[in-house]
Structure 1
């Protein structure tokens, strides 16, 4: 850092106001990362992709093909839902990267909203990573989806209780449909001593009802990004210990954001994008190495530029 910071001067990086130039630089790197991710995850040779039998995706498809009907058909449907769910959460995460770009440019500058948006980016990516995780077998992958799907169905049912009979009937039908599909796929319920449903098992592999997002963030996010989940939780949950800092900085006149908040949000978002690109490549057998290399170069270059801009170097 000595080439951009005055020698011998103690400076807390980015504890300065958000300037227009700094905001533009931060928004630009997020847009660049979205473009790099889109390019890296695009299958450029469809014929080669379809003929490849070595990818984890193809191996799992073949594993299901080896089953007998009707289980084969039911498992293919569940596997297809897994792909759709992971893709949905990934797309929602990238949409919130785009929202973060616009939020950073807001005038007056944002206070804590960048961290909240980056939290959504990270959670969406972690759901996709949880399902595409290349270190687990197919049966555990299906067990993970079974739990997530049931959690969603029960949440929808609880929400419908406040909406009226028509929505309640739809939610009940959805829950019954999920239960029937999981039964046909031979996903077995796991219950605790009190009879509460705590997860599912598929052919000897088990998974809880939902992922532990704190543990997942620590495991799946890049090593260069320490404690990303805790970094964003205080702002996302509106906790006074976190958000009070903005009032102190304002010296009694409303709330004031600082460049450090934007930097934290941007780094979390970039780390999340790198994570989803990496796991996508590992699961589908797509070469994303060049995209990840460019992301690393762009991230490091952005950090140095941002220090210079924020501290007037």
Structure 2
């Protein structure tokens, strides 16, 4: 396996950036009010502290519910909070991707471009997710507003909503930190992670009309067994072909989760994709391949928005909460 950094610094205190999709899931995009930067920075520092206290309390109150939370900040949000300060090396504003030959095959710019803050909350019970989110709201309501809120769920057998097992190729065990956490290449932000959060809507009628055989060609795997198809049995633009990102002959990986959401009575069903990586460039490379190679999924799916966020380590969150970041000389 190709290690993505010269030396990996394994943080003892990363946020929850590993595969644990949860039974009940909440994704929230927030935007700062941008009325009083100093006051909003102070309020965010309080939130950085209060949110961790809320998590600790809930993990005592609901010990068996496996609460997991990640909090991230976008490039625009980071620059607003910490103007002139150092920022994570690969943190940028995601503005979408378009296939020049087929403009309909795209990941367009949307409301994701307006997001400053991102919350990913998951647990075994919806009541736990609700309680944490409500307590968070009491903390952030004075400095930020909700741009998008999406409730997801665990589908049968841990499958994506289109019926295939999710996350088969995720790195696990001792390999996971090498791909999920920032390492020695950016030591000030080691232990952090880049989260890409993207919302898709699927034409489920069109998907079902393909039939099982064609669906398997589209994904590149057998639906029931999850076994990978031989190359000649896959569609040329099968998802597990186009989404691979190869550097110097080695596949680079991320921690990915595809969370279903649906309002079935109105026929709105989709996937909230969340990918965590120690390098945003790896996730971006995968997305670029999907668009340039016309990933089969994009023929029956519409991307509503997506944005990249930096998820600080818990140690850095503590620095922010204590007013110790930014520190040192500005860039």
TM over 0.5: no
State the TM-score, normalizing by the size of structure 1: 0.23
Greater helix share, structure number: 1
State the TM-score, normalizing by the size of structure 2: 0.22
Which has the larger Rg? 1
Greater strand share, structure number: 2
